[in-house]
């Protein structure tokens, strides 16, 4: 009788459990849809951010009229100008509603943390659909909080609290660790990338006409438009499974891999936005004293990279292009006191090996993409995009702290407080092992890409070079390893010189031109290393000058970015005539008379850059031309 009672009660309990599970799934899916909508509403839109967080309409209007918003870059301020109409916001939100909104977002983040904890107990993360949806919900909620922090003026964002923590501090203490945990967990076992190609190969071999339905991005919240949706993905509900059991397993594994790729993409997007604020921490005063031409090489190198890296350039290039916006971005000062750079938020992030892990992710994704069959082009593009995005996050993290690094000899003497900051930065860089590890790993990836005969290598090549260039800028006046393991001697110089010297080829594509400019920038910094052999220093300088002398050839086959980079490399390297390498290199090898011959042709070639279509590049070229003429005149006055 007792056994019968238990059996009788098991069926309704089982049904209730299924109903509860279905209800939970629907709630998470609805949350994803709502979070997706909030992402769109809050991006660069202060009124929406204010409505969610309880900021009074008049306070918002007053703060906006007092100055620009303090968000994550020019994109925010530009959109704000055209969309700000406080009268259209409606009544002020109540404090209770605002707290409920923030509590809901925090709850989603806590669910994300719990999902990650559960996933750690398995061999790999995110294997079931419910966990995947919960992770997406948490990531989208973090994205909403990032948009809020970016959209609100600094004085208003400072009053937004998650529980008892200020929003800025919450991002550092909770959001960033969550995001790095996602990358660590979902990128820990890279065998899953094989399923991305396996699905395509299985489908192609089984049925070339099999119908596939794109994943429902909006409702599931699995990907955003900026996260790089991978077209042609099989749906998670199994409607597109192959007929046989083996095919069904493969397709489910492939969908899980697609979901995993989307999670990594979304995490990288949010990290990129967040690091824009963290890296510029403490720069509100520093940028006012920064040499205007300190990063002309970087600007020239990246002018033609906008198609491949438009999002990160919009966020981070403000350091070079708009000092006022950088001052507005310097909102997360955290605990950095200016005495030890190791306590700077960006330094703590770098020392946590985030950059090493991201380069490792990029390497694994590129390796997986290179093994994809031709018919798996969509998935290969997704992997290559993930690899490139991971590298761009690294380069932007380093570029954000570059203003703290020592400047090249051509820069004017810095004010006392900036000199002190650069001293503490120089002390920190000598102890940061992840910096050098990232340098080595990035170059290893670059060599792997260059050795592969694939047409899709250009974007990854450019991304690797940008990481190496930003790292080189951090090591101005210091030594960097030029070979390791079983590499040939001076492998870095051999590789970069090969890229740079190809600038005199008959056909100079824009992206190739930008890559060559980056290579020249790296080589010029290495040429100023204190321990570099004099013969190598001379070889680098000779190579740069020969590239510049190509303007004397009838076809003048040198790209505009390369022209600017080569000009700046000569000026930066030999600006100090008292340097120990000036006499054996610049004077003994008769650089001055050769430079006299190129001043006019360089100026003439710079004028061929169209101001209307390439205004920024033309300005850089004009500036470098003026500096070259002044440099030659100064050297003429010295007589050497």
Residue 268 burial class via C-beta count within 10 angstroms: exposed 0-12, middle 13-18, buried 19 and up: buried
Look up residue 349 and give its DSSP letter: H
Mean pLDDT over the full length of the chain: 78
Top pLDDT among 326 and 547 is at 547
Q: What is the pLDDT of residues 279-317, one digit of tens each?
A: 655 554 333 333 334 444 444 444 444 443 433 333 233
Nearest to 376 by CA among 132, 192, 188, 205: 205
* Residue 469 is assigned to a structural domain of this protein: no
The pLDDT value recorded for residue 219 is 26
* CATH code: domain of residue 599: 1.25.40
* Residue 252 is assigned to a structural domain of this protein: no
Task: Indicate the angle between helix axes 510-527 and 491-501, nearest 10 degrees.
Answer: 140
Q: Residue 279 in contact with residue 316, Cβ under 8 Å? A: yes
Distance CA 395, CA 359 (A): 10
Same-domain status, 195 and 341: yes
Same-domain status, 196 and 316: yes
Same-domain status, 384 and 488: no
* Residue 245 is assigned to a structural domain of this protein: no
Highest-scoring range by mean pLDDT, 155-164, 234-243, 308-317: 155-164
* 3-state SS class at 162: strand
The pLDDT value recorded for residue 112 is 95
Same-domain status, 160 and 291: no
C-alpha 573: how far from chain center: 28
5, 10, 60 from 2: Cα distances, Å:
5, 13, 68
Same-domain status, 314 and 427: yes
CA dihedral sign, ordered 479, 480, 485, 487: negative
Distance CA 341, CA 335 (A): 11
Q: What is the pLDDT of residues 201-216, one digit of tens each?
A: 444 444 433 333 333 3
* Residue 174 is assigned to a structural domain of this protein: no
Q: Is 60 exceeded by the pLDDT of residue 619?
A: yes
Distance CA 228, CA 368 (A): 17
Flag the least confident range among 1-10, 160-169, 213-222, 496-505. Answer: 213-222
* Residue 81 is assigned to a structural domain of this protein: yes
What's the token pair of residue 16? 């209730």
Same-domain status, 153 and 90: yes
Domain that holds residue 371: 189-201+262-459
Q: What is the pLDDT of residues 138-159, one digit of tens each?
A: 999 999 999 999 999 988 988 8
What's the token pair of residue 77? 């301020």
31, 70, 216, 271, 485 from 135: Cα distances, Å:
11, 28, 16, 15, 39
What's the token pair of residue 89? 């916001």
**For residues 81-88, average pLDDT:** 46
Q: Residue 526 in contact with residue 472, Cβ under 8 Å? A: yes
The pLDDT value recorded for residue 57 is 85
Same-domain status, 125 and 155: yes
Flag the least confident range among 207-221, 241-255, 497-511. Answer: 207-221
Residue 432 burial class via C-beta count within 10 angstroms: exposed 0-12, middle 13-18, buried 19 and up: middle
Q: What is the pLDDT of residues 320-355, one digit of tens each?
A: 333 333 333 343 344 466 678 988 888 988 998 999
Distance CA 571, CA 550 (A): 17
* Residue 436 is assigned to a structural domain of this protein: yes
The pLDDT value recorded for residue 288 is 35
Same-domain status, 506 and 434: no
**Domain total for the chain?**
3
Distance CA 570, CA 628 (A): 9
Distance CA 273, CA 396 (A): 10
Q: Is 80 exceeded by the pLDDT of residue 449?
A: yes
Residue 314 burial class via C-beta count within 10 angstroms: exposed 0-12, middle 13-18, buried 19 and up: middle
Place of tokens 């398995």: 122
Distance CA 514, CA 510 (A): 6
Q: What is the pLDDT of residues 588-604, one digit of tens each?
A: 999 999 999 999 999 99
Same-domain status, 298 and 377: yes
Same-domain status, 448 and 531: no
What's the token pair of residue 380? 């290969």
Q: Is 50 exceeded by the pLDDT of residue 241?
A: no
Same-domain status, 516 and 401: no
The pLDDT value recorded for residue 461 is 93
* Residue 346 is assigned to a structural domain of this protein: yes
8, 297, 373, 389 from 233: Cα distances, Å:
43, 41, 16, 20
Q: How many residues does the chain have?
A: 640
Number of H helices, E strands in the chain: 28, 2
Q: Compute the chain's Rg from CA coordinates.
A: 27
Same-domain status, 309 and 436: yes
The pLDDT value recorded for residue 318 is 34
* Residue 443 is assigned to a structural domain of this protein: yes
């Amino acid at each position: 009788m007792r056994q019968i009672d238990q059996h009788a009660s098991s069926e309704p309990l089982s049904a209730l459990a299924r109903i509860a599970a279905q209800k939970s799934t629907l709630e998470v899916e609805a949350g994803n849809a709502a979070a997706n909508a909030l992402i769109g509403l809050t991006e660069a839109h202060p009124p929406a951010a204010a409505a969610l967080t309880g900021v009074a309409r008049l306070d918002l209007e007053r703060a906006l009229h007092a100055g620009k918003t303090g968000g994550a870059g020019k994109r925010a301020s530009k959109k704000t100008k055209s969309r700000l109409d406080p009268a259209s916001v409606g009544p002020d939100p109540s404090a209770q509603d605002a707290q409920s909104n923030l509590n809901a977002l925090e709850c989603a983040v806590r669910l994300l943390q719990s999902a990650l904890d559960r996933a750690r107990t398995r061999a790999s993360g995110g294997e079931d659909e419910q966990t995947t949806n919960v992770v997406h919900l948490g990531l989208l909620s973090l994205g909403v909080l990032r948009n809020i922090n970016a959209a609100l003026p600094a004085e208003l964002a400072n009053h937004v609290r998650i529980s008892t923590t200020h929003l800025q501090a919450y991002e550092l203490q909770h959001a960033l660790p969550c995001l790095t945990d996602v990358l660590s967990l979902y990128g820990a076992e890279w065998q899953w990338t094989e399923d991305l190609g396996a699905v395509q190969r299985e489908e192609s071999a089984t049925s070339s006409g099999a119908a596939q339905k794109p994943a429902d991005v909006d409702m599931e919240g699995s990907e955003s438009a900026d996260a790089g949706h991978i077209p042609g993905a099989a749906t998670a509900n199994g409607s597109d499974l192959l007929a046989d059991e083996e095919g069904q397993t493969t397709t489910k594994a492939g969908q899980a891999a697609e979901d995993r790729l989307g999670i990594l993409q979304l995490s990288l997007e949010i990290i990129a936005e967040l690091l824009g604020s963290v890296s510029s921490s403490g720069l509100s005063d520093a940028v006012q004293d920064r040499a205007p031409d300190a990063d002309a090489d970087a600007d020239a190198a990246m002018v033609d990279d906008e198609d491949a890296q438009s999002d990160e350039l919009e966020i981070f290039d403000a350091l070079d292009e708009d000092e006022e916006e950088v001052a507005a971005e310097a909102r997360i000062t955290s605990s950095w006191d200016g005495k030890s750079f190791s306590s700077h938020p960006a330094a703590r992030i770098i020392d946590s090996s985030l950059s090493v892990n991201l380069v490792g992710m990029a390497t694994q994704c590129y390796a997986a993409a290179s093994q994809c069959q031709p018919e798996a082009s969509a998935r290969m593009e997704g992997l290559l995009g993930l690899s490139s995005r991971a590298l761009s996050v690294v380069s932007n993290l380093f570029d954000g702290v570059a203003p703290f690094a020592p400047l090249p000899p051509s820069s004017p003497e810095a004010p006392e407080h900036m000199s002190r900051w650069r001293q503490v930065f120089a002390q920190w860089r000598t102890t940061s092992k992840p910096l050098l590890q990232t340098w080595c790993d990035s170059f290893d990836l670059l060599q792997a890409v260059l050795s592969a005969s694939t047409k899709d290598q250009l974007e990854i090549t450019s991304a690797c070079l940008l990481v190496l260039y930003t790292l080189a800028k951090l090591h101005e006046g210091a030594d960097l390893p030029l070979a390791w393991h079983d590499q040939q001697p001076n492998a870095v110089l051999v590789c970069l010189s090969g890229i740079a010297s190809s600038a005199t080829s008959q056909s100079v594509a824009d992206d190739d031109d930008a890559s060559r400019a980056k290579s020249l920038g790296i080589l010029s910094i290495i040429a100023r290393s204190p321990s570099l052999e004099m013969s190598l220093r001379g070889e680098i300088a000779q190579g740069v000058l020969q590239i510049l002398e190509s303007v004397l050839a009838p076809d003048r086959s040198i790209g505009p970015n390369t022209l600017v980079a080569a000009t700046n490399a000569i000026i930066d390297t030999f600006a100090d005539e008292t340097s120990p390498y000036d006499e054996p290199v610049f004077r003994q090898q008769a650089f001055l008379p050769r430079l006299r011959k190129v001043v006019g042709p360089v100026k003439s070639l710079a004028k061929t850059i169209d101001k209307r279509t390439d205004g920024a590049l033309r300005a850089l070229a004009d500036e470098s031309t003026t500096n070259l003429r002044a440099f030659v005149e100064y050297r003429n006055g010295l007589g050497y």
